[in-house]
Amino acid sequence: MRVIFCCTDTKAQPWLDGLRAALPGATVELWQPDAVLADYAVVWSPPQQFFDEQTALKGIFNIGAGVDALMKLLLPAGVPVIRLDDAGMSVQMAEYVCHAVIRHFREFNGYEADTAAGKWSYRKPRVRQDFPVGVMGLGVLGQRVCRALQQFEFPVWGWSRSEKSIDGVRCFSGEAGLADFLAATRVLVCLLPLTPVTENILRRENLQRLQPGAYVINVARGGHLVDADLIALIDSGHLAGATLDVFRQEPLPPAHPFWRHPKITITPHTSARTLRTESIVQIAQKIQALHTGVAISAIAGVVQPGKGY
């Protein structure tokens, strides 16, 4: 069995070493143009040339949860694309989102400013029931985030494409459920995949449906958010602010207004990192399973071509 690794922005050697150790019978190689044809590919944002050349693949493993970069390429027909299924990401996402929600709810930015000014001042406690958190996307990460938020007793709403029933979460679904979901939400968390349907979903028309004083947390993809609409709605006072981890252009260009906006907190696409050890274990187990004839329907994280996630 041959495995080929082609990941931009990733140090290859530790992945090659890890995959070789996890798949002792396999040949694991770094892609270079005109490489020998492989059975399985482990990729992140590969060039189109990779798929043009690798014409014998039986499975494509993405070393992230989001496959939006892959979906822009011309992929070999009928070859399954398998994304990371948690692999240690969901607990990181739960930490990040709870931190952002609590930082906003408890006004820690304000306390930090007071401390810096040598001021000992209390703020009136806020009422938790006034801060329902709406999670867009109830997949692997969204559901884990809902569970974590429930531990802090925030009311939690969720929105997904198909109908869901999740203990303690008021679930909305589809286009028809979006307006009610947004109207009931004070803190919005975006955990959707980026697809042609969800692109620009965080635009004025939708953001202005949120409760007055709402707060936006985008941890999915920069392409979900219309940057100028967010800034206009914060500056008009409809939105209280935002925490953003993902951007249309990464790294965020130095001149972008998000860097300096006093009500926007940014982080460099770090809310849930790919953990190499966990990911290698997961990918190696799935490669072994496919190679020994396990049905693709029994493998978690297979991307549905029609849906794009």
Q: Is residue 18 within 8 Å of residue 276, measured between CB atoms?
A: yes
Q: Is residue 184 within 8 Å of residue 210, measured between CB atoms?
A: no
**Can 269 be counted among the known catalytic residues?**
yes
Token pair for 129: 């029931």
Q: Is residue 208 within 8 Å of residue 234, measured between CB atoms?
A: no
Of these partners, ligand GLV, ligand NAP, none, which one is at the site of residue 286 (CB under 5 to 8 Å by kind)? Answer: none
Nearer to ligand NAP, 134 or 137 (CB): 137
Q: Name residues contacting ligand GLV, limited to 257-286 (CB under 6 A).
A: 274
One residue of 62, 211, 271, 279 binding ligand NAP per CB under 6 A: 271
Nearer to ligand GLV, 65 or 233 (CB): 65
65 binds ligand GLV (CB under 6 A): yes
Question: Catalytic pick from 103, 269, 276, 291?
Answer: 269
Q: Which stretch binds ligand GLV (CB under 6 A): 3-11, 61-69, 124-132, 153-161?
A: 61-69
Single out the residue of 247, 113, 111, 219 nearest to residue 257, CA to CA: 247
* Cα–Cα distance for residue pair 176/178, rounded to 1 Å: 6
Number of residues that bind ligand GLV (CB under 6 A): 4
* Cα–Cα distance for residue pair 93/32, rounded to 1 Å: 34
Distance of CA 51 to CAs 60, 114, 140, 179, Å?
10, 55, 28, 40
H or E segment to which residue 276 belongs: helix 276-291
193 binds ligand GLV (CB under 6 A): no
One residue of 193, 202, 222, 282 binding ligand NAP per CB under 6 A: 193
Nearer to ligand NAP, 31 or 134 (CB): 134
- 41 burial (CB, 10 Å; 0-12 / 13-18 / 19+) is buried
The DSSP code sequence of 92-112 is HHHHHHHHHHHHHHTTHHHHH
One residue of 18, 46, 66, 142 binding ligand GLV per CB under 6 A: 66
Of these partners, ligand GLV, ligand NAP, none, which one is at the site of residue 245 (CB under 5 to 8 Å by kind)? Answer: ligand NAP
What x-and-dash track marks residues 154-173 binding ligand NAP by CB under 6 A? -----xxxx-----------
Token pair for 308: 């794009």
| Distance, C-alpha 162 to centroid of its chain | 18
**Can 221 be counted among the known catalytic residues?**
yes
141 binds ligand NAP (CB under 6 A): yes
User: What does the binding site for ligand NAP look like in residue numbers (CB under 6 A)?
Assistant: 65-66, 89, 137-142, 159-162, 191-195, 197-198, 219-221, 245-246, 269, 271-272, 309
Active site residues: 221, 269
User: What does the binding site for ligand GLV look like in residue numbers (CB under 6 A)?
Assistant: 64-66, 274
